[in-house]
Structure 1
């Protein structure tokens, strides 16, 4: 039963995104496995440099739910994680949040995700949730730290910096990101 609810939440989110006017796939006219970073096409393809952040969401949701709801069956914890991830995908693609990204971060070419990219982000969260369940804690921490360091090194951004810059932008971080 919980897995059907997870599937319904995911499908419902994709329908909502379409009804919000999000592009089903890249307006560029082709589907590619990886979007070109720093362009408006970047978040329109199957994966982008923010896909690792969504993988990390799965690790974080699994850990948080293990801490506060470990007696809740795993399937229901996945439903909760999916609900949070889907709510994020919907809110992230509202005009208000897109404009916030454009004004508070260096993401001037961000126009929202395609529905295809949002679907991949949700799947990345599922993979992170599953990996967190399977891997030892030390390996989970290594994955989280490793992906944060990798994205900070390659695109000067990541989950932690993204949250900081969205909620309370720091000029020094913006300058460092822009210098890359």
Structure 2
């Protein structure tokens, strides 16, 4: 068999997929820059973790209380990739996950979703993510994806449940409530969240 017809080895395929993922993340950051998003917090510094929820620093630093939601995105996108790309390796599945997450990050930082957050949820002062925070959301999704790829399904589900319960208890928000309030706002939940 000649070198031109020889199928790609798994390591070559994964290397190519990782290069595509890096380009997608760069494209996400550049698109957000062109959308007018700020590179880092306007406070002028970068924190590892922003503990406040309804603070100007939320969604501006490396991580915050919404980071577990993005890790859960990785769990979900790993499952989706396994379903729709079952005969493909982890590289194409990861690429699909990054396309979805980067697409969400761009949509989430568009005026239509920012205004939806302000009107339908308790995030009245939400102004969108910094580019740094948005890119880190994608990185945390990737970490969640890789975690789900390496551990048993039951453990992935357990970690997702723990994240949802913990953040729901601590900040009165989590991935489930976030999706619900964006799609079908419930006044009682909005009032409960605002009372924090």
Q: Report the counterpart of residue 122 of structure 2 in structure 1.
A: 106
Q: Establish whether residue 46 from structure 1 lines up as the match of residue 50 from structure 2.
A: no
Deviation at 1:146, TM superposition (A): 0.5
Counterpart position of 2:141:
125
For residue 20 of structure 1, the aligned residue among 35, 41, 46 is 35
Query: What does 1:26-41 correspond to in 2, within 5 Å?
Result: 26-35=41-50, 36-41=52-57
Cα RMSD, aligned residues only: 0.9
TM-score, with length taken from structure 1: 0.97
Aligned with residue 116 of structure 1, among 125, 132, 141? 132
Higher mean C-alpha displacement, 48-57 vs 170-179 = 170-179
Provide the C-alpha distance between the structure 1 equivalents of 2:190 and 2:133, rounded to a whole number of angstroms.
25
Give how far 1:34 is off: 1.4
Give unmatched runs, 5+ long, in structure 2: 1-15
Counterpart-to-counterpart distance in 1, 2:44 and 2:53: 17
1:178 matched residue in structure 2: 194
Instruction: Report the Cα offset of residue 30 of structure 1.
Output: 1.3
Q: Distance in 2 between matches of 1:33 and 1:128?
A: 18
TM-score, scaled relative to structure 2: 0.89
Distance 2:65 2:85 in 1: 31
CA distance in 2 between counterparts of 1:129 and 1:72 reads: 15
Aligned with 2:188: secondary structure? Answer: helix
CA distance in 1 between partners of 2:45 and 2:125 (Å): 18
Between the aligned partners of 1:70 and 1:177, the Cα distance in structure 2 is 40
Instruction: Answer yes or no: is 1:151 the counterpart of 2:173.
Output: no
Mark the runs of 5 or more structure 1 residues left unpaired by the alignment: none
* Aligned twin of 2:72: 56
Structure 1 consecutive aligned stretches of length 4 or more whose deviation exceeds 4 Å: none
Q: How many residues align?
A: 180
Larger radius of gyration: 2
Q: C-alpha displacement at 1:179, in angstroms?
A: 2.3
Answer whether contact 2:81 2:94 (CA < 8 A) is retained.
Answer: no
